[in-house]
Structure 1
Amino acid sequence: MVNALESISSVAEILDLLPAEEMQHMKRVGILVDCFTEKLLLCDLFNECLDTHKYFGRAAFYHDIGKVWIPNSILTKPDRLTKSERIIICDHPLYAQKLFTQIRQGLISGIPEYLFQLAMDSSLYHHEWWNGNGYPYGIKRYEIPLIARITSICDAFDAMTSTRIYCKGHSHEHAYQELKKCAGTQFDPELVSAFLLMRPDTAFYFNA
């Protein structure tokens, strides 16, 4: 995989290397982010994103692009990951940072300029926690860009409710309760409250 990436010059080529299951997850999260953000704006919440909100879903699609540097044997492993494998997985935002540096330098093409900052923020910071206990940078609260705080909730919701090779999906209700439980620690509590109130059109996005 590493050797294959050395000759790559576009984001499209990178995405082609990801397992189909990962691509489907990224698409679902992008759709859910788009839907949730639209509902936030309709309710006149979080006006800080008014200028760029229409791009949030498209940008959030790239949130896991750093996983292309994670061996497929780990990404598609049907059993529980070992401690060392989990550590490797947790490096994917750092790999994304390297990728976006290469994009900024013009070495890799494929992400439009209007999406660049949003896509980078989503991919670098979606595993940061509201209380500062996330990774890879340990930032907290409003240090975490809004798109990353939204992506974090949608990513977790999809991870909990989708059947993957290594686990069976939980019900939506289970996921809502888990989000509520982690509000104020892992997730922005105000965003979780809005997500639970709006329950943004989750019925259709699983078919993406």
Structure 2
Amino acid sequence: MEESLKPFLLLSDAVIITDKNHRILDVNKAYEDITGYDREQILGFRAGILKTKLTSKSTYQDMYDALNQQLSWSGIFVNKKKSGELWHSSISITPFLINEDCYYVGVFRELEHLQDGIYIAEGRRSNIQAALLKVLAISCEIRDPAIEEHLTRVQQLTGQLVNAHNERLELGLSQDYVQSIVHASIMHDIGKSGVPEGILYKPGPLTSYERIIIEMHPLIGVDILEKVNAELDDDFFKEEFNIAKNIILSHHEKWDGSGYPHCLKESEIPLEARIVSVVDVYDALTSRRPYKEIWDRQKSLDFIREHRGTFFDPSIIDTFVQIV
């Protein structure tokens, strides 16, 4: 192996050096300690000896594309130790051209051993957040056997609407923010768990007293959310809970200020709440409720259009009509 590359083996992180065909030329002591493989066991093997199917094909393709152009590359791998144990690693690979021969120096850092705790891949983190928020939402509204279908429909249509609105108006919303809105939309009515069934499912008109109780459900929902958040006390759900709070509290506010509980109007209403309010009303209109029959799609859309600029944000209605 080229002598000028040997100083890399003195690094405290795990180091692997390969030739242009990705065959292992040398590793350092840290690499042996992490993987469980002795240096002499793996010299000459291809670096993929640690490879698992848990690292996406696109990650490997990105790596090969960069290295084939003799460019540096960094990313996250889920590898397998000699013992069979999985480990997540952040790796940076740098090509070196020496005497017309190409060598690759890979520097690994085991993410499980970082002081901040266990590493969770972005896709897995997102799936865990979505699943737990859904369980929490359904648990709060378990009295209604049809609630899961309603919540799922609201979540799916929210995803379509927020993405379409972001693209149509070129808002530049980050994918993390968009995904947080979709995850949190399922929480919009958790406060109804604090409303008596006799009021919640009353087939006839509500009295003024019953209406006051119904209009308390956003505040009840926020109280539930804050109690859960206080128990978790973890940044893992911080963004989702902040957005969920806005949706729960403000999805019954109206563009003209006639909504509840705080009579907010126009841009005072958080964007995520304005989006979910349209979806929630549309799904309520097109579903059977104790106090109403199912409206057909056209009648429901007509209602939505009629209240453009009064109940709903006009620009969101314009996007909604396009996708529905």
Measured against the shorter chain, the TM-score band is: 0.7 to 0.9
CA contact (8 A) 2:141 2:147 kept: no
1:140-172 Cα deviation digits (max 9, x unpaired)? 111111110000100110111111232111111
CA contact (8 A) 1:102 1:108 kept: no
Separation (CA, whole Å) in 2 of partners of 1:74 and 1:98: 20
Correspondence 1:63 to 2:188: yes
Q: 1:188 to 1:63 in 2, by over 3 A?
A: same
1:161-192 Cα deviation digits (max 9, x unpaired)? 11123211111111111111111111101110
1:62-115 Cα deviation digits (max 9, x unpaired)? 000000000122222233333322221111001012122212322799x93341
Normalized against structure 2, the TM-score is what? 0.53
1:33-80 Cα deviation digits (max 9, x unpaired)? 112112223435432455410232221110000000001222222333
Correspondence 1:142 to 2:142: no
The correspondence for 2:201, drawn from 72, 76, 98, is: 76
Separation (CA, whole Å) in 2 of partners of 1:40 and 1:12: 25
Separation (CA, whole Å) in 1 of partners of 2:174 and 2:289: 32
**Alignment correspondent of 2:95:** none
The correspondence for 1:21, drawn from 141, 146, 168, is: 146
- Which of the pair has the greater relative contact order for Cα pairs under 8 Å at 6+ separation? 1
Correspondence 1:40 to 2:165: yes
Which protein has the larger Cα radius of gyration, Structure 1 or Structure 2? 2
Any idea what SS the aligned residue of 1:185 has? coil
Any idea what SS the aligned residue of 2:186 has? helix
Any idea what SS the aligned residue of 1:184 has? coil
Any idea what SS the aligned residue of 2:309 has? coil
Give the unaligned 5+ runs of structure 2.
Answer: 1-134
Separation (CA, whole Å) in 1 of partners of 2:315 and 2:141: 36
The correspondence for 1:157, drawn from 263, 271, 282, is: 282
Identity of aligned residues (%): 32
Post-superposition, which runs of at least 4 consecutive aligned residues in structure 1 deviate over 4 A? none
Q: 1:123 to 1:183 in 2, by over 3 A?
A: same
More helix by share: 1
Tell me how many residue pairs correspond in the alignment: 189
**Alignment correspondent of 2:112:** none
CA contact (8 A) 2:137 2:186 kept: no
Normalized against structure 1, the TM-score is what? 0.80
The correspondence for 2:311, drawn from 167, 180, 186, is: 186
